[in-house]
Structure 1
């Protein structure tokens, strides 16, 4: 009996050890010699070749992001991924990029999809990234939260795509049982996402080791310590896949204009946060590398005259490269410069344009303009000599944060509502529109969605109806044409902590202290906010005009109603210290409502539409953020900024609205109960930009 028990114990132990070593350990097994390693993806003449044929990357970035779920929930299942891959393939794309380890449903879906599309499969660029904590740690890049995590994740990614990995616990990344071998469709691995330049500088300061010599890559004499670290990671990944699986894929790390190889004059470098350089040219292949190294770039805006801020040495060194720049190309030829500089393929691994209502530039793009910008920019990239480009992003991501609206919203709860004022929510080609199957309201001036129960206010021949959904509050104004063509005023009372019954410079008064005024005159409309409740002033006044907002705050009952603005990205540069004035941020009016048809089924659909006049009346949408809601799902609004020294919130259950004309002596106001929700109801809709990309890419080889 003891022998039997020992035999069972040894068998079970053997299985456990085999499972651990094979699927969990991440150890290198020297199975293949260098001359036995193959690669179906190589680089040649600064381009990418797959199975011996030139391959032009037409890619799109994908994640597991869905409304109601955090990124780390990996809520999308295999059916979701399959549906999205089908649409991506039909759009003409040939590549998907993921920036981190995904759950097993994603890889199972890619395997199943490509089994049915063997002649035209979807290829994969697999990314691994350092956590926000690791990237912003007070330590350098050799810290375990940085280097060790990247090394471990790169090995895990390789095991995953070869179908030999179990991940039971994986903080912030995908997990599951990975058994599908998709390695033949993997183009390469991309290390990192965006590098904190302070971490890069601190690493270079702390470490004298600037040289690395590995089996597949090595650094040249000009490399810095951070580049040596990247070379070490790249070599480890190549060695791990080669020796364990007999395969080589392309290898790269993510770079961006903030960390590119070009040195700036010291006075301008600080203003542009351009204080370090990372250069893939300092990492060289050895004779053992059969696949290749590529330069992968995330693109974001740079000053239009960026090259004038280069150091004198940079200008001299890059004289020939600068002469090859085409100023009519994207970013005034910045990508031309990259292609002229590098001797490896340049891949734009992340570029995009948002179709959100809010932005940090002068113009917001509607969905058609988004698609046009994507394709014009893609053509610029290809004319510049790039090996291809990857669009950011496949789907809108409600969980993304946006620098100029973070202060105004509860960013941890933004997954529950469609914040169209936050730019980073709208980069997708796929929208998640409110409503389980269709929207409650389409802004088209047609009354058919509105019922008698929606009427909240009647006054002197005008009738006001109201609805709400995950995107905002909607009004429908009924009345005869004479009334509708009048100068209409719609006061709104949100908070009891401030507001005014009087509108400065106008004779009209309100029954209650109003916080907002919706002003309508024909096809012109705007939202105004009472000066005390203007969130931009308290948060950004010092950046806009240099004043302290707390020295002379507006009175609680101040009668001034002001435009609702958004702060813009500061792109101006101070030319000298002694003579130039401070460079302040500009603003744009976001409270100005946009006229147009907001029904996607209409031939004249305009995705940024806020209101429309029809034969039945005027239909209006007010985004939640314009009304100072920080989390509308829980009906959380801003409190008094000057009593709380910033944005603090409280919950409400109702608001008050009124409706009248500019000539009314007093406009009565009526309370309207608001509804909370625990889970957003949405349906998917491919944007107009999807169709534009599809039309362009399906014409290309």
Structure 2
């Protein structure tokens, strides 16, 4: 019995020793990170000097240029508050980010313990320079916007708690209880020595800032332990100084100092923009120069989110039309960077968000075609690389691209009203929603790479029977029609009885999803249908290949024409069976007139229904991420985004209804998709595959392509073309100091 007890004690002691060594490793290992001790006893790895950020390396301070990437907290099928990313995901991503040439990862909020464990583990094992962390601290954004008063005790207290939690998480010295939408667990990995700086707060709502300034006009002074206001500070800047000082006080408890900044954006920058159309976009300033260091050796820098397409003064302000790039083109982004840099004299300034999305849809237009969307992955990479080079050329301390991974849950102002139910956005990828597709790491629906749009039917033949459906159609000219779908697209493969020649003929595919629509149209010749079509796909020459929408179903016109009065509406087109199919469009700018704007601006819209011919095979040199169709011989392949077919949520079989007036829409549940194909002979100017004598043609008896609802998504990740393009820029940019 005594020997057994001894063995138990020995095992227990061994386990305790292993656990202790494992626990201490987090602290001992990273203590080897080279740092300098200040006169006041704090450790420093980074500091600000003049307009530069410096790193302590080889026992001296050297310039450090930030080449970073913003990392989100979600995966397809999830919202950020669900915190679905695992340690193995982080480790895999860190390797790819490192390979890209980035040296900093920025996160917006507290991630789960696995994130910090992965960062420490990755840096411990890798050779050469580590990946550094810029830790964001999320402000009570919703409360700030709702209450419009930053000084409210509930807001101040919530922000202070978030600051304490963030510092504890980074230094591995806190246990956070479970809370809906928040990270929780035991934080034991000390990532503090890998920190480059603290990024406090979120983009500030200008109305909230203005209201806070009015309510607390006398509260314009704060003399903190580490940071203080100037005699020019506003009430909101005073509050913000207190929050930044709170971060410094919390970090100092751990014996470290790191550079401080707060989140800012163009909307609340300290510059004047007389060419900005909307008053609210130049309503108030949050000025980084109104915060000063009282006692913080690591220093302080300014940071801004700067995109080339927002706000609209990037296109309209004459003050930005004076600078040209190396190609001799007027470059308003470069001009803005120069103005902003000049304002922040002797102070480091960094662009901590920039970039464009590789998306089908567009939400804003920018100078030099740098729009918010409508780009291929190749174009995304070229624009992002150009923006990063300009950030370096204008003397900034670095740039952090937005973003690392695609995030399906995101919404955009010009599609969000059409995505219903709203709480199911993460279950499908709406490629018309540009906000979902900023990533350098694509999150692709499950048929990507399985069904390549290239005019080759072999991948269809390899698919499992349950993954596709043959439509039993007896239509002259067509031998077979197959359909499939995934979380992003509806796919169709048609094999004709002859080789398709777009110079001699044109292909049409009518789509029916819900009762209503056009039962006749010029494209149908004299054929009438018993059930209407919601959308019409035409394939032929490049300029005529597109998808259009029935005029009374067109929810773009229904919203901005009938409800808002910003577009002309022909009453006859609003009737059922108008016979008119209209181009598919998205709004990129609303009609503006005084007093909301400085002068009248008409509504702006872009077409999104054009179907590009090409290949979606990412291994092909001619890969086009926006390709929609291809034909080779008899085989025609096509993919169409769900929303262009009228779907508001394919995962629950929800389509837009014809019902509903005003600014809100109703949905209907569809049984599936009916496809009516036909061919038009250009020489004869008539359909060659729809029987003229059968009137009306019975669309209602056509087979339905159907699928079950889904609650789980299938996807895979893949580096976009933009990754390798930005990789070259990141690797080439100097100065870049690597730590041994």
- Give the TM-score of the pair, scaled to structure 1: 0.87
**Cα deviations by residue, 1:258-311 (Å, 9 ceiling, x for unpaired):** 00012355x95744521111101011112x21011110101132423665579x
Change (3 A) 1:306 1:54: farther
The separation in 2 between residues aligned to 1:698 and 1:470, in whole angstroms, is 35
> Residue 390 of structure 1 aligns to a residue in which SS?
strand
Cross-structure match for 2:350: 347
**Cα deviations by residue, 1:391-420 (Å, 9 ceiling, x for unpaired):** 111000001111100011123211111211
Cross-structure match for 2:545: 525
The separation in 2 between residues aligned to 1:643 and 1:201, in whole angstroms, is 36
> Residue 42 of structure 1 aligns to a residue in which SS?
strand
Change (3 A) 1:632 1:40: same
The separation in 1 between residues aligned to 2:385 and 2:521, in whole angstroms, is 47
**Cα deviations by residue, 1:605-627 (Å, 9 ceiling, x for unpaired):** 01110111123411111100101
Cross-structure match for 2:438: 427
Gaps of 5+ in 2: 1-36, 366-370, 681-685
The separation in 2 between residues aligned to 1:505 and 1:325, in whole angstroms, is 47
Q: How many residues align?
A: 652
Are the aligned partners of 2:90 and 2:118 in contact in 1 as well (CA < 8 Å)? Answer: yes
Q: What is the root-mean-square deviation of aligned Cα atoms in Å?
A: 2.8
The separation in 1 between residues aligned to 2:323 and 2:358, in whole angstroms, is 32
Matches within 5 A, 1:248-397: 248-264=257-273, 270-271=278-279, 273-286=281-294, 288-300=295-307, 301-302=310-311, 303-304=313-314, 308=318, 328-329=330-331, 331-342=333-344, 343-361=346-364, 364-397=374-407
Cross-structure match for 2:424: 413
Change (3 A) 1:690 1:216: same
Shift in Å, 1:144 = 3.8
Change (3 A) 1:336 1:678: same
Please tell me whether residue 64 in structure 1 is matched to residue 84 in structure 2.
Answer: no
Cross-structure match for 1:671: 703
Cross-structure match for 2:485: 468
Are the aligned partners of 1:329 and 1:380 in contact in 2 as well (CA < 8 Å)? Answer: no
Are the aligned partners of 1:269 and 1:275 in contact in 2 as well (CA < 8 Å)? Answer: no
Change (3 A) 1:306 1:601: same
Shift in Å, 1:152 = 1.6
Are the aligned partners of 1:151 and 1:236 in contact in 2 as well (CA < 8 Å)? Answer: yes
Change (3 A) 1:171 1:191: farther
Matches within 5 A, 1:100-499: 100-117=109-126, 119-207=128-216, 208-242=218-252, 244-264=253-273, 270-271=278-279, 273-286=281-294, 288-300=295-307, 301-302=310-311, 303-304=313-314, 308=318, 328-329=330-331, 331-342=333-344, 343-361=346-364, 364-410=374-420, 411-435=422-446, 439-451=449-461, 454-456=469-471, 457-462=473-478, 463-481=480-498, 485=502, 486-496=505-515, 498-499=516-517
Cross-structure match for 1:8: none
> Residue 35 of structure 1 aligns to a residue in which SS?
coil
The separation in 1 between residues aligned to 2:107 and 2:180, in whole angstroms, is 17
Shift in Å, 1:333 = 1.0
Please tell me whether residue 596 in structure 1 is matched to residue 614 in structure 2.
Answer: yes
Cross-structure match for 1:501: 519
Shift in Å, 1:600 = 0.7
Change (3 A) 1:171 1:674: same
Change (3 A) 1:183 1:408: same
Gaps of 5+ in 1: 1-31, 311-321
Please tell me whether residue 681 in structure 1 is matched to residue 714 in structure 2.
Answer: yes
Cross-structure match for 2:672: 654
- Give the TM-score of the pair, scaled to structure 2: 0.83
> Residue 270 of structure 2 aligns to a residue in which SS?
coil
Are the aligned partners of 1:330 and 1:377 in contact in 2 as well (CA < 8 Å)? Answer: no
Shift in Å, 1:361 = 3.9
Are the aligned partners of 2:409 and 2:436 in contact in 1 as well (CA < 8 Å)? Answer: yes
Change (3 A) 1:232 1:325: farther
The separation in 2 between residues aligned to 1:274 and 1:237, in whole angstroms, is 29
Cross-structure match for 2:586: 566
The separation in 1 between residues aligned to 2:597 and 2:139, in whole angstroms, is 42
